[in-house]
Amino acid sequence: MEVSGKTIQITSDPKDLCELCHIGDTQIANADGVCLECDQFMCNTCFQYHLKVKSCKNHVLVNIAKFSLQKESEIAIKCKTHCGELIKFYCRKHEIVGCGECMIPDHIPCQPENIKDLSKDFQENDSFKSLLGKLDDIRSAIIDNKKRVEEGLKSNITMQEEAKEEIKKFRTRINDYLDKAESNILQELENTHCKNKEILEKLERELLELFARATELGKKIDTETYRESSLFVQAIESKPGIIEIEQEMSRIKMENNIKQYTFIPDQQLKTILLAPEKLGNLDGLLSESISPTKSPGDKEERTSDNENGDESHDESESIDGLTQDDNDSDNSDEDEDLNRCQISEGSIVRPIGKPWSRGYFKVHRGQNGTVIKVNDDNSFAVRWHATGRKSFRLTMYSVELV
């Protein structure tokens, strides 16, 4: 069969037929390729006519065998902004690709380059190999970081379990300490109570005995029983006994002086109750808040290794980079009242505020200390637990209660 001079040989597979050659609704010619831009199967004759259309003059007919391998990648490079247009150009200045519609309005001065010319043997290009290498490095880094994250998750669980165990152990020690402290004070209370009771019971027995003796003497000088001379004799004979009872009463009165007592809580334990309700700190959080780096303007703290703690220092001594005069000008009455209420001898404190200088850090090692004296101007002296050394004339700007 012939149509317009063409010899028609119909194949059995509809996908190999030209989509433009029709007799009614029937396709009548085999396709020689696929127009990539239009995604249509065409014979050579129809494609030649197709190229005569101005908007289609740059279209490309691809062999059907190659089309199945190229279709995925060719579809992927179609312009997302201009439907149906292929991405053909690359703007080196702005490092973007686009179709002709994208490049003509905005990138003509940039002299966009044809991707076909740039993409020849692109996979052998050094920049492409570098890009692949960088991507491999990124994948490796991701894998390494994923491993570290997984290790971190395990470590986080382990740290939590270990910290919980240490907290429980510490709490047990605190409970044991408090139980023992309670037992000691209760034993002291019991001992004092028993001593007082023993004294009072002894005096009670002696008073009963004296009362019985006084009663007997009273019978001897009873005026209803004895009169005149007999009463006189009984009175004279009873007088030494009465004097003896008086002496015994004076002695009992002096001995009736038991130990008076009331319970006074331990000062250090009272200070702990005023501190934040924490059993301790998580190591790392405290170290991050204290920097041993010496900041400009910081001055080294006056310290002493003398156990007697010579505290005679100049009133304008430098404190954490500020003089005492500077602190006085910055402190409000409210701050002074707060210091006076919270800080007392025996309080446990830790270093805070702006970074401590290296000299300060050598003194306290980032650890707690005990207040050993509170001065009239609300400054105080601290003995640091880690080193046993002392710091003088500190303020609430340098430490806080723990």
Q: Domain ends where: 34, 60, 76?
A: 76
Model pTM score: 0.41
Using the structure block, give the residue that is written with the tokens 């894998």.
143
- Residue of higher predicted confidence among 359 and 202: 202
Residues 272 and 353 in one domain: yes
Q: Does the residue 106 lie in any domain?
A: no
Whose tokens are 């009663």? That residue is: 215
pLDDT over 70 percentage in the chain: 75
Same domain, 302 and 371: yes
Calculate the alpha carbon distances from 111 to 17, 90, 91, 92 in Å.
41, 9, 7, 8
Please count the other Cβ atoms lying within 10 Å of the Cβ belonging to residue 208: 10
**Count of structural domains within the chain:** 3
Q: Please report whether residue 81 resides in a domain.
A: no
Answer yes or no: is pLDDT of 171 > 80: yes
Query: pLDDT (tens digit, 9 = 90+) per residue, 127-150?
Result: 888 888 999 999 999 999 999 999
Does residue 216 fall inside a structural domain? yes
**Domain contains 122:** no
How much is the pLDDT for 70? Answer: 57
Q: Among residues 343, 329, 330, which one has the least CA distance to residue 378?
A: 343
Q: What is the mean pLDDT of residues 226-252?
A: 90
- On whether both 208 and 275 belong to a single domain, the answer is no
Residues 314 and 219 in one domain: no
Band of pLDDT at residue 18, cut at 50, 70 and 90:
confident
Pairing of strands 318-319, 399-401: unpaired
On average, the pLDDT of the chain sits at: 77
Tell me which residue has tokens 């310290």: 303
Domain of residue 158: give its range. Answer: 129-255
Q: What does each C-alpha distance from 364 to 250, 391, 399 come to in angstroms?
A: 61, 9, 11
- Looking at the fold, whether 317 and 350 belong to one and the same domain comes out as yes
What is d(CA 194, CA 325) in angstroms, rounded to the nearest whole number? 57
Give the least confident one: 162-166, 259-263, 266-270: 266-270
Count of residues in the chain: 402
Residue 146 inside a domain? The answer is: yes
